[in-house]
Every structure is written in structure tokens, then in C-alpha cells.
Structure 1
Amino acid sequence: MAAARRGRSSASGVVLLSCLVVALLTESFPAAEAAGTTYYVGDAGGWGRNLDWWLAGKTFYAGDVLVFKYNREYHDVAVVGGKGYRRCKVPRSTVVLRSGYDQVTLRRGNNYFICGMPAHCDAGMKLAVKAF
């Protein structure tokens, strides 16, 4: 009878320990908070020039997703650093998206995007987003 009690006790301990591990992992990595908000850049007008109006009143967080919709025959989206943004230059190692429906997950800090087509960035087709 003592052996039967030990077996039951061990099984209960394993179940309790498993529940504790799951609870701790859920606290450390909450799935609901990992998914960010999705924003369509420029709303119905899509990726274009002079989007300061679109940024107004929005607060972005790391993990939020920006969706760039545009005509891929005429535009693209280059993910650049601050220097590329200020100079409207696409460095050689830059990721350039060209699908016409690109999704970019924001990282914490400053995120910069420009259209890499000649003269488009200089005409105002660029976006700087700070994510908290």
C-alpha cells in the first residue's frame, strides 16, 4: 500500500510541476501580446508621398506590422537606416521590397522606409516610424 501511495504522489507531483512550468512560460511569453497591430500605410491611398498626416495621432510598438500597398511597376519599399532616409539613398545591402503588398514588422526604435525609384524619395515618398 505504501508503494501505491508513492506512485500516486509522484504522478501528482509531475502534473503539478507541468502546470507550474506552463504557467511560468505563459507569463514569460504571452501569445496575445506578441501579436502587434496591423496598419495600412496611407490607409486607402496606400504608400505614397507626404504621409505625415497618416502618422498623426498613432503610437507604434515593436511587433506592429506596417502593410505597404502600391503599384509595383512604379514604386518599391526600401528599408533603410537614418542616413539612407535623410539622404534618400538606398545602400547596397538594403532590403528592397517589390511585391506591391509588403508587410514589415516594426522593431523597437526608429524604422525608416523610402521609395528607391529615382526622385521618389526626394519628392516626399518616405516614412519614419518610431516604435516603443
Structure 2
Amino acid sequence: MYSQGRSSAMRTAVSAILIVFLLSVQAQAARYDVGGSSGWGFSTGNWASGKNFKAGDILIFNYDPSLHNVVEVDANGYKGCSSSAKAKTYSSGKDRIKLVKGKHYFICSFAGHCGGGVKIEVNAL
């Protein structure tokens, strides 16, 4: 009976350590509302400037889907405000995108919007 109690206590301790570890890893990921309280739109401008993004962080794009969308493009698409057929397009108005390490480029593909500033570049470390 003593060994069963000891085994049970060991399993409980290991479970507790695992839970603390998972919570600490999850707590390290930041959530960012793109554009702040104004959301994704023409006021987004330099929103990403000065922020330190990390792999695992989540970008939350809030917008009216009848007015905007979010397209993840490559560097050329960002510079030229264009997207390819392979580009991932989001259109829910409440898009959540988890960052992986590296540069990410997002634009709105509605006519004139990207050129008007509805685009961001993010580098996740």
C-alpha cells in the first residue's frame, strides 16, 4: 500500500510540473490586435513599428469583411501590393494568425487599400 501511495504522489508531482511548464510556454506567446483599437484598416500605418514579435505570437485582425480582407504575401507582393493565387487570404473579420519565425507580410487586396497603407510587415524572432 505504501508503494502505491508513493507512485500516486510521483504521478501527481510529474503532472503538476507538466502543467506549470505548459502554462509558462503558453504565457510567453503574446496576442496583438493589429491596428490597436481601430483594427485593421487605413489607420494601421506604422502599427508594427517598435514591437518585438516572437514565433508563437498571435496577430488578431479585426475588421469589417465587407470593407477589407487580409492576405499573407511574400516580400514582392508586399512591395508591389499584389497577391498570387497561392497567397493565403483571410476574410472572417476576426482572423487569428499564429506567427512562425521569420518575416511575414500582410496586405488588404481590395482595390487601392494596400497602396493606401493597409499593409504591415512583421518579423518574428
Structure-2-length-normalised TM-score? 0.79
The match for 1:98 among 91, 96, 99 is: 91
Whole-angstrom CA distance in 2 between matches of 1:63 and 1:78: 19
Count of residue correspondences: 123
Give CA-to-partner distance per residue, 1:15-42, whole Å, 9 cap, x none.
8xx89x97xx88xx75522451111011
Whole-angstrom CA distance in 2 between matches of 1:70 and 1:87: 23
Superposed displacement of residue 126, structure 1: 0.3
The match for 1:77 among 70, 73, 77 is: 70
Q: As a proportion of its length, which structure holds more helix?
A: 1
Whole-angstrom CA distance in 1 between matches of 2:87 and 2:49: 27
Percent identity over the alignment? 37
Whole-angstrom CA distance in 2 between matches of 1:31 and 1:90: 37
Give the root-mean-square deviation of aligned CA atoms: 2.4
Is 1:33 paired with 2:6?
A: no
Structure-1-length-normalised TM-score? 0.75
Look up the match of 2:119. 126
Task: Give the SS at the match of 1:78.
Answer: strand
Name stretches of at least 5 consecutive residues in structure 2 with no aligned partner: none
Task: Give the SS at the match of 2:50.
Answer: coil
Look up the match of 1:51. 45
Name stretches of at least 5 consecutive residues in structure 1 with no aligned partner: 1-10
Task: Give the SS at the match of 2:89.
Answer: strand
